[in-house]
């Protein structure tokens, strides 16, 4: 087990290349289950969630070959193997095996998903969608059992705008008989990416990226080749880091449109950002002004950037109010930032951040993926050394974080934890 160490204060300069989007990749891989012939996905991030999904695909009989950032999945000999326990519990996106296996085999047994602990994360809207398509769904001993004699297209109104439910229903509906209409669908770029892959496989989908998606089911889907979109959350994290500590940082392989809400907020704070087709050039500003943020569904401010952004607000003049409307209790990073001298109060569903303060390096723990990212942002700005444990969370979502930041000039490295440290960590 390792810990991450950062000696803060170095000005950052240079270029960082963004990897493929985790939240697309984790749906694209299960989507391959639906094809009759091999699917190749290009530009995958090398992160632990992808490794686990590749192993799950092999567990159900898929042949998986990885060549650098590309993966080829031959689904022809897959079977509807139950996956009630084990790897499925390690990540959120294992829920996509429900939709994909239901679409292909008309049955699936999948353990309830893991992923970041952000408070309650129900999957009732996924289930509502599967039931509307004709599946019988039961929950037994922590696993979801799905079975359908046939899947039949239906009109489904989501009571909550959900990325996972929108994609999961698409995965099942592409092989249902007739037309499915998903209303109040989520509009995140990852949904368009999954729809693009499915369309290349032969699916008939209209409206992905709007709040009404129409799907006409087909009997057969074939293999294809697909290039994943860049990770807007990784790009946003580096943009925040560059705003915090950058002299001049070029973010390469990014779709600026996907980050409009973040870019607007950073400009309000006084950060200078130039947008190119696939790049962002960020000039940090040591005199930042505070702003308020409220997370919303896309194209609103993403909840996955709320935690890293909160760390940046500690350096801004004034008071910034951070409200997360998607996950009201996504604030586990606050106590850790306070250990680093941040001045943050929790008031109801908001964090009130006062700044600027001089952050000080400390021993802190990443309780979830983006909490980890917020500690990295803080560590990069702090005086002295910050020691972050809980790297398994960070490794779920950031490819080569240490190398990418070191290339920009950060003083950052990983070290093995001693057995006493591991014991303390496990008991904490
Ligand atoms: C693997 C993946 O893509 N993860 C992302 C996905 O998670 P995930 O797909 O799990 O998030 P959702 O969009 O489904 O959740 C949004 C909100 O809806 C609620 N909800 C969701 C489903 C449901 O059936 N019932 C229900 O009440 C959730 O508790 C949450 O409050 O979108 C989140 C919101 O942008 C991001 O933070 C995650 O990084
Ligand atoms: C919450 C996240 O991921 P997951 O849904 O996979 O837990 C995230 O990427 O910030």
Assembly ipTM? 0.99
Ligand 2 pocket, 115 CB below 6 A?
A: yes
Ligand 2 pocket, 116 CB below 6 A?
A: yes
- Residue 163 CA to ligand 1 centre (angstroms): 6
The protein residue with its alpha carbon nearest to ligand 2, atom 1, reads: 116
Helix, coil or strand: residue 333: helix
Nearest to 290 by CA among 307, 260, 312: 312
Ligand 1 pocket test, candidate residues 160, 186, 303, 393, most atoms within 8 A of CB: 160
Question: What strands lie across the sheet with 225-227, from one edge to the other?
Answer: 63-67, 70-74, 39-42, 225-227
- Residue 77 CA to ligand 2 centre (angstroms): 30
- Residue 6 CA to ligand 1 centre (angstroms): 31
Per the annotation, where are the binding residues for UDP-N-acetyl-alpha-D-glucosamine? 92, 121-125, 304, 326
Per the annotation, where are the binding residues? 22-23, 92, 121-125, 304, 326
Q: How far apart are CA 116 and CA 124, in angstroms?
A: 18
Per residue, the 3-state secondary structure of 230-296, as one string, reads: ECHHHHHHHHHHHHHHEEEEEEECCCHHHHHHHHHHHHHHCCEEEECCCEEEEECCCCEECCCEEEC
Please give the number of the atom of ligand 2 that sits closest to the Cα of 26: 6
CA contacts within 13 A on the Cβ side of 209: 9
pLDDT in tens, the chain (428 residues): 999 999 999 999 999 999 999 999 999 999 999 999 999 999 999 999 999 999 999 999 999 999 999 999 999 999 999 999 889 988 899 999 999 999 999 999 999 987 778 888 999 999 999 999 999 999 998 899 999 999 999 999 999 999 999 999 999 999 999 999 999 999 999 999 999 999 999 999 999 999 999 999 999 999 999 999 999 999 999 999 999 998 999 999 999 999 999 999 999 999 999 999 999 999 987 799 999 999 999 999 999 999 999 999 999 999 999 999 999 999 999 999 999 999 999 998 899 999 999 999 999 999 999 999 999 999 999 999 999 999 999 999 999 999 999 999 999 999 999 999 888 888 87
Please give the number of the atom of ligand 2 that sits closest to the Cα of 397: 9
Ligand 2 pocket, 164 CB below 6 A?
A: no
CB 102 within 8 Å of CB 148: yes
Tell me what pLDDT residue 405 has.
Answer: 98
Tell me what pLDDT residue 348 has.
Answer: 86
Residues carrying an active site annotation? 116
Ligand 1 pocket, 301 CB below 6 A?
A: no
Ligand 2 pocket test, candidate residues 21, 92, 310, most atoms within 8 A of CB: 92
* Domain ranges (residues) in the chain: 2-19+230-427, 22-227
Q: Which residue has 């860049």 as its token pair?
A: 230
Global pTM exceeds 0.90: yes
- Residue 325 CA to ligand 1 centre (angstroms): 12
The protein residue with its alpha carbon nearest to ligand 1, atom 18, reads: 162
Ligand 2 pocket, 389 CB below 6 A?
A: no
Please give the number of the atom of ligand 1 that sits closest to the Cα of 120: 29
Please tell me if the domain spanning 2-19+230-427 has the same topology as the one spanning 22-227. yes
Classify residue 60 by its DSSP letter: T
- Residue 215 CA to ligand 2 centre (angstroms): 26
Tell me what pLDDT residue 321 has.
Answer: 98
- Residue 303 CA to ligand 2 centre (angstroms): 10
Helix, coil or strand: residue 77: coil
Ligand 1 pocket, 119 CB below 6 A?
A: no
Residue 219 tokens read as: 């009997």
Ligand 1 pocket, 126 CB below 6 A?
A: yes
In CATH terms, the fold of domain 2-19+230-427 is UDP-n-acetylglucosamine1-carboxyvinyl-transferase; Chain (3.65.10)
CB 324 within 8 Å of CB 295: yes
Residue 244 tokens read as: 């915090």
Ligand 1 pocket, 304 CB below 6 A?
A: yes
Ligand 2 pocket, 304 CB below 6 A?
A: yes
Per the annotation, where are the binding residues for phosphoenolpyruvate? 22-23
The protein residue with its alpha carbon nearest to ligand 2, atom 8, reads: 304
Assigned CATH for 22-227: 3.65.10.10
């Amino acid at each position: 087990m390792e810990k991450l160490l950062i000696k803060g204060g170095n000005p950052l300069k240079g270029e960082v290349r963004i990897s493929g989007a985790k939240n697309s990749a984790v749906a694209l891989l299960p989507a391959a289950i639906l094809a009759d012939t091999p699917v190749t996905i290009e530009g995958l991030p090398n992160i632990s969630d992808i490794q686990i999904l590749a192993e799950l695909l092999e567990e159900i009989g898929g042949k998986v070959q990885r060549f650098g950032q590309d993966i080829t999945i031959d689904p022809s000999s897959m079977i509807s193997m139950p996956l009630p326990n084990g790897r499925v519990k390690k990540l959120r996106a294992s829920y996509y095996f429900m939709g994909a296996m239901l679409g292909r085999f008309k049955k699936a047994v999948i353990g309830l998903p893991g992923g970041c602990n952000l408070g309650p994360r129900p999957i009732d809207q996924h289930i509502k969608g599967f039931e509307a398509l004709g599946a019988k769904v039961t929950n037994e001993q922590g696993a979801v059992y799905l079975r359908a004699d046939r899947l039949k297209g239906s009109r489904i109104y989501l009571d909550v705008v959900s990325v996972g439910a929108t994609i999961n229903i698409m995965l099942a509906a592409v092989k249902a008989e007739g037309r499915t209409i998903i209303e109040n669908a989520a509009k995140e770029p990852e949904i368009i990416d999954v729809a693009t892959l499915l369309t290349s496989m032969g699916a008939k989908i209209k409206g992905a990226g709007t709040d009404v998606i129409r799907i006409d089911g087909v009997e057969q889907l074939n293999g294809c080749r697909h290039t994943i979109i860049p990770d807007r959350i990784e790009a946003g994290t580096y943009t925040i880091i560059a705003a915090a500590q950058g002299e001049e940082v070029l973010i390469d392989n990014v779709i600026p449109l996907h980050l409009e809400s973040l870019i607007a907020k950073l400009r309000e704070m006084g950060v200078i950002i130039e947008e190119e087709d696939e790049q962002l050039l960020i000039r940090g500003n040591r005199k930042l002004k505070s702003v308020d943020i409220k997370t919303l569904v896309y194209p609103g401010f993403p909840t996955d950037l709320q935690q890293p952004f909160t760390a940046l607000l500690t350096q801004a003049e004034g008071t910034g109010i951070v409200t997360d409307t998607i996950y009201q209790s996504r604030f586990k990073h606050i106590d850790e930032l306070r250990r680093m001298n941040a001045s943050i109060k929790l008031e109801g569903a908001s964090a009130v951040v006062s700044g600027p303060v001089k952050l000080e390096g400390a021993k802190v723990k990443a309780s979830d993926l983006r909490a980890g990212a917020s500690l990295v942002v803080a560590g990069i700005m702090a005086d002295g050394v910050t020691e972050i444990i809980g790297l398994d969370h960070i490794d779920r979502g950031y490819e080569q974080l240490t190398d990418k930041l070191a290339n920009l000039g950060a003083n950052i490295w990983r070290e093995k934890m001693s057995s006493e440290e591991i014991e303390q960590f496990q008991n904490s």
